[in-house]
C-alpha cells in the first residue's frame, strides 16, 4: 500500500490550471456572452501556465532535471500510442466524410412509421456517434434532421434535440475511434475490446430504458409524416467495418487502417471526392486532432512534475480517507473525472488529466485497468451530458438557432434521458454487480 505522505502544494499547478480555465470560460461565456465561450479559452496556454508554476516549485531540483522528468512523462509508451491513434482516427473521419451519416438517418426514417421517428432518432444518433467517434459531429449533423422531424410531425423540438444529444453521448462513450475511448484505454494500458465489453454491459440497460421512455412519450403526441431526402448507403461500409473489427478484437491500428483504406476506395469509386480532395480531407481530419494531441503531451509533462513534487501522493492519501473499499474506489474514480470535466467542460481533457491519478487509485483499490478505463470514459460522458456550457449542448443550441428555433440549455437537458439512465446504470454496476476478474487484471 502506498503510504507516502506526499505534498499537497504539489497539486498547485493543477489548481492554477482549473482556476485559469474556469474563470476565463465563465467570463467569456456568461459575462462577455461570446458564443462557445469555454471553447474560446486557449487550453494549451492554460496548461503552459500550469507547467510554468510546476517548474517554479521544488527549488531543490534544477531545471534540466525537470526537463528530463517531463521528457520521460511524454515519452511513455501509452502516450505515444495515444497520439498515433488520435491521428489515425482523425484521418479516418476525414476520409469517410460526414454525408454518410445523413444517409443513415434518412434511410432509417424512410422505413420507419412516423410514430417511431423520435425513437429512431435516438438509435440513429447512437449508431452514428459510435461509428464516427464524435458526439459533437453527430449533434451537428443530426440536429437539423431532428428539428425537421419536430416541425413536420408535431413532436416537441426539445424532445427531438435532447434525444439526439443523449444518443450522441452513447457513441462518445463506446466508440473505438472516440478520443475519449482512446485516451482512457491508453492511459490505463488496457485493450479497447476489453474496455468495450465492460462498457457495453453498463450502457446497454441505460439505452434500452431510454428507448422505452422515448417510446412512451411518442404516444403522447399528435404526429404526421417524416421528412425525406436522398441517401447513399454504400458510404457507411467503412464505419461498419471499423465497428466489426473493433468488436472482434483486431488491433486498433489495423482496425483504423481498414477503415481508412476502405473509405478511400469507396469515396473515390463513387466519385464522392477526387484524389486532391481526399488528401485534403485526410489532412483536415488529422489537423482536427492536433489540439487534443498537444493537450495529451502537455498533461503528460505536467503530471510528471506533479508526481515528482508529491502531489499525487497527497491526493491519493486524501482520497483514501474519503472512499473505502473497492466500490468506494470506483466511485472515487468516477467523481474525480467528473470534477475535472466540470472544470474543463471537455470530457477528453478530463480523462487525460485524470489518467495518472486514476491509475494510482486503481492499484490502491484493486480495480482492473479495463474497469478503470470504463469508469473514466462513462462518468466523463455523464457529467459532460449535463453541462449547460458543454460543447454538446452549445452546438445543439447553435444548430437550432440557425433554423429559427429559440430555446435554452435546460429545455434540452430535461429530455436527455440517456445520461440520466447511464448514471443510474453505472451506480448499479459499481455497488451491486461484482467485476469478474481476469488473470491479466490482477495487479
C-alpha cell at 66: 525537470
1 pLDDT band, cuts 50/70/90, is very low
Tell me, what DSSP letter sits at residue 33? -
Instruction: Kindly report, residue by residue over 246-302, the tens digit of the pLDDT.
Output: 777 777 788 888 888 988 998 888 887 889 988 998 898 888 778 878 888 888 888
Residue showing cell 458510404: 235
Contact at 8 Å (CB) between 227 and 410? no
Contact at 8 Å (CB) between 312 and 2? no
C-alpha cell at 165: 444529444
Higher local confidence (pLDDT), 428 or 388: 428
- Identify the pLDDT of residue 164: 92
Instruction: Kindly report, residue by residue over 372-404, the tens digit of the pLDDT.
Output: 999 999 999 999 888 877 778 878 887 787 777
Alpha carbon 20 to its chain centroid, in Å, reads 23
Handedness of CA 25, 418, 380, 282 (dihedral sign): negative
Instruction: Kindly report, residue by residue over 25-67, the tens digit of the pLDDT.
Output: 888 877 887 776 777 888 888 889 999 999 998 888 888 999 9
98 pLDDT band, cuts 50/70/90, is low
Give me the chain's average pLDDT, please.
83
Query: What angle, rounded to 10 degrees, do the helices at 311-322 and 290-308 form?
Result: 90
C-alpha cell at 76: 511513455
Higher local confidence (pLDDT), 109 or 191: 191
Contact at 8 Å (CB) between 381 and 416? no
- Identify the pLDDT of residue 100: 67
> Which of helix, strand or coil describes residue 23?
helix
In the chain the first and final C-alpha atoms are separated, in Å, by 12
367 pLDDT band, cuts 50/70/90, is very high
- Identify the pLDDT of residue 372: 94
- Identify the pLDDT of residue 419: 93
Percentage of residues in the chain having pLDDT higher than 90: 17
Backbone angles phi, psi at 273, to 5 degrees: -160, 155
Tell me, what DSSP letter sits at residue 134? -
- Identify the pLDDT of residue 429: 92
Q: What is the CA radius of gyration of the chain?
A: 22
**What whole-number distance in Å separates Cα of residue 18 and Cα of residue 12?**
10
- Identify the pLDDT of residue 2: 45
Q: For residue 408, is pLDDT > 90?
A: no
Contact at 8 Å (CB) between 430 and 327? yes
Q: For residue 443, is pLDDT > 70?
A: no
C-alpha cell at 316: 491519493
> Which of helix, strand or coil describes residue 208?
helix
Alpha carbon 394 to its chain centroid, in Å, reads 15
Burial of 84 (0-12, 13-18, 19+ CB in 10 A): middle
Nearest to 107 by CA among 83, 131, 85, 123: 123
Contact at 8 Å (CB) between 121 and 163? yes
CA atoms within a 13 Å half-sphere pointing along the CA-CB vector of 322: 14
The region of weakest confidence among 157-166, 199-208, 253-262 is 253-262
Beta-strand runs (E) in 152-311: none
- Identify the pLDDT of residue 228: 63
Alpha carbon 434 to its chain centroid, in Å, reads 25
Higher local confidence (pLDDT), 164 or 442: 164
- Identify the pLDDT of residue 225: 63
**What whole-number distance in Å separates Cα of residue 147 and Cα of residue 400?**
7
Higher local confidence (pLDDT), 118 or 136: 118
Amino acid at each position: 500500500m502506498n503510504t507516502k505522505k506526499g505534498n499537497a502544494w504539489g497539486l498547485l499547478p493543477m489548481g492554477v490550471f482549473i482556476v485559469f480555465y474556469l474563470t476565463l470560460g465563465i467570463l467569456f461565456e456568461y459575462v462577455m456572452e461570446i458564443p462557445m465561450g469555454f471553447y474560446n479559452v486557449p487550453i494549451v496556454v492554460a496548461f503552459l501556465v500550469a507547467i510554468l508554476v510546476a517548474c517554479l516549485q521544488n527549488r531543490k531540483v534544477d531545471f534540466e532535471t525537470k526537463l528530463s522528468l517531463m521528457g520521460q512523462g511524454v515519452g511513455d509508451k501509452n502516450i505515444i500510442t495515444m497520439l498515433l491513434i488520435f491521428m489515425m482516427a482523425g484521418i479516418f473521419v476525414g476520409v469517410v466524410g460526414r454525408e454518410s451519416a445523413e444517409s443513415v438517418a434518412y434511410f432509417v426514417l424512410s422505413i420507419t412509421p412516423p410514430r417511431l421517428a423520435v425513437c429512431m432518432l435516438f438509435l440513429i444518433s447512437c449508431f452514428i456517434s459510435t461509428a464516427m467517434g464524435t458526439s459533437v459531429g453527430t449533434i451537428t449533423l443530426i440536429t437539423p434532421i431532428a428539428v425537421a422531424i419536430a416541425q413536420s410531425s408535431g413532436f416537441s423540438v426539445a424532445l427531438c434535440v435532447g434525444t439526439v444529444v443523449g444518443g450522441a453521448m452513447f457513441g462518445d462513450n463506446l466508440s473505438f475511434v472516440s478520443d475519449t475511448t482512446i485516451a482512457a484505454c491508453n492511459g490505463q494500458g488496457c485493450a479497447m475490446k476489453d474496455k468495450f465489453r465492460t462498457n457495453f454491459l453498463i450502457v446497454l440497460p441505460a439505452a434500452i430504458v431510454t428507448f422505452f421512455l422515448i417510446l412512451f412519450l411518442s404516444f403522447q403526441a399528435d404526429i404526421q409524416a417524416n421528412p425525406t431526402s436522398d441517401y447513399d448507403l454504400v458510404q457507411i461500409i467503412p464505419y461498419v467495418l471499423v465497428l466489426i473489427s473493433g468488436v472482434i478484437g483486431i488491433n486498433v491500428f489495423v482496425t483504423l487502417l481498414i477503415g481508412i483504406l476502405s473509405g478511400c476506395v469507396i469515396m473515390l469509386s463513387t466519385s464522392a471526392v477526387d484524389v486532391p480532395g481526399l488528401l485534403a480531407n485526410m489532412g483536415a481530419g488529422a489537423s482536427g486532432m492536433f489540439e487534443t494531441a498537444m493537450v495529451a503531451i502537455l498533461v503528460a509533462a505536467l503530471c510528471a512534475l506533479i508526481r515528482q513534487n508529491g502531489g499525487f501522493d497527497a491526493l491519493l492519501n486524501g482520497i483514501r480517507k474519503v472512499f473505502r473499499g473497492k466500490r468506494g474506489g470506483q466511485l472515487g474514480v468516477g467523481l474525480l473525472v467528473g470534477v475535472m470535466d466540470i472544470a474543463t467542460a471537455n470530457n477528453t481533457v478530463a480523462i487525460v488529466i485524470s489518467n495518472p491519478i486514476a491509475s494510482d487509485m486503481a492499484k490502491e483499490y484493486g480495480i482492473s485497468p479495463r474497469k478503470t478505463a470504463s469508469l473514466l470514459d462513462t462518468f466523463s460522458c455523464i457529467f459532460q451530458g449535463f453541462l449547460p456550457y458543454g460543447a454538446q449542448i452549445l452546438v445543439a443550441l447553435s444548430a437550432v438557432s440557425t433554423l429559427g428555433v429559440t430555446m435554452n440549455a435546460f429545455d434540452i437537458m430535461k429530455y436527455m434521458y440517456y445520461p440520466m439512465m447511464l448514471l443510474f446504470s453505472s451506480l448499479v454496476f459499481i455497488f451491486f454487480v461484482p467485476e469478474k476478474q481476469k488473470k491479466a487484471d490482477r495487479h
